Amino acid sequence: MKDLKKLGLLGEGAYAKVFLVEDPQGIQFALKEYSLNVAKADEQRAYFKAESVIYGKELSNNVVKLYEFWEEENKLCLLFEYCEYGCLKHQLREKGPFNLRKTLKVGICTLNALASLHKENIVHRDVKPNNILQGRKGILKLADLGLAKVDGLPDAKCPHGSVAYISPEQYLNYNNVDFRSDIYSVGATLYHLYTGKEVYSGKDLSDILDSHQNCVIPNIRDLRPDCPLSFNHIIRKMISKNPADRYQSAEEAFTDLSRVLEGISTIHELPSIKKFKEEVNIQENIETIPDIALVEEERNNQIALIVILLSVVIVLCLIFLI
């Protein structure tokens, strides 16, 4: 693939760099390059091969598409579709916290991607705003499966992942996490996108990791008082300390978020939330979700009623004058 022209650096992580490249026909792609470490070359090739195999499976359209992969000049290369609107971390930095509707759609698309991975017994292990991309027509894509847990790979010698979004069990027992760890990371991601703040903060990495394991689950409504009660409970359920208290599948969380987006009005109507026991007793009244579609529908109904009443008044006035 020497006919690809590098146009610029899109991003850089601990293990790889991603470049914007263009082929002779002017089509743009994202090229991910791993630099081989002589001492760890065999292990790197194993992970590289595993990542390329994952993308070859029947996955959701919400997983970024891989076109080709190869090795050249001490580099391992993966050629992906280019998502021109970039990652959600950049969008958050440039435009501030997301509104409810966009946050819900991010969650739904990410969980849809994860459901297809989990079906193949793959745990992503690095869900975060940096790894959720927005491509053509606004389609959201989950990317970067370089840290994914796949059958047949050797155990990692130390925990990997992003401290702000890592589940308690992923730090403590990295090689034995299951799908529920990804669900925790989705919850932490949505919390960050919606509030503009990470779930837990601290003076150093150790302090943040300790907060994931021991601190009280935060209430989104402390930062966003306009947050629907149902959405608040969904996020709190996703980031429960104990995996058994979380959603037990991506599909289950997907269903609840979809119902909020569709305008289901109260927390009692969300099937999974009925079973959720909060760690902290928060006295809150059940309230209607201020979904955009419902607000607009109610406003239109009010306008229609006013028009009808005015029409009746005008007719009565005409009759009186006659």
The 3-class secondary structure across 99-142, one letter per residue, is: CHHHHHHHHHHHHHHHHHHHHCCCECCCCCHHHEEECHHHCEEE
Nearest CA to 241 out of 194, 144, 310, 172 is that of 172
- How many whole angstroms separate alpha carbon 235 and alpha carbon 220? 8
- How many whole angstroms separate alpha carbon 2 and alpha carbon 277? 57
| Amino acid at position 258, single letter | S
- Asked whether 114 and 128 are in contact (CB, 8 A), the reply is no
DSSP three-state, residue 83: coil
Q: Which residues contact 283 (CB under 8 A, 6 or more apart)?
A: none
C-beta neighbour count of 77 within 10 angstroms = 19
- In the residue annotation, 144 being an active-site residue is answered as no
Q: Which residue among 23, 42, 126, 291 is the active-site one?
A: 126
- Asked whether 280 and 218 are in contact (CB, 8 A), the reply is no
- How many whole angstroms separate alpha carbon 207 and alpha carbon 214? 10
- How many whole angstroms separate alpha carbon 47 and alpha carbon 297? 51
CA 249 to chain centre: 15
In DSSP notation, 148-194 reads: -B-TTPPPPSS--S-TTT--HHHHHSGGG--HHHHHHHHHHHHHHHH
Q: Where are the alpha helices (DSSP H) in the chain?
A: 41-55, 88-95, 100-119, 168-172, 179-195, 205-214, 229-238, 250-262, 292-321
Q: Which residues contact 110 (CB under 8 A, 6 or more apart)?
A: 62, 127, 132, 140, 142, 186, 189
Catalytic residues: 126
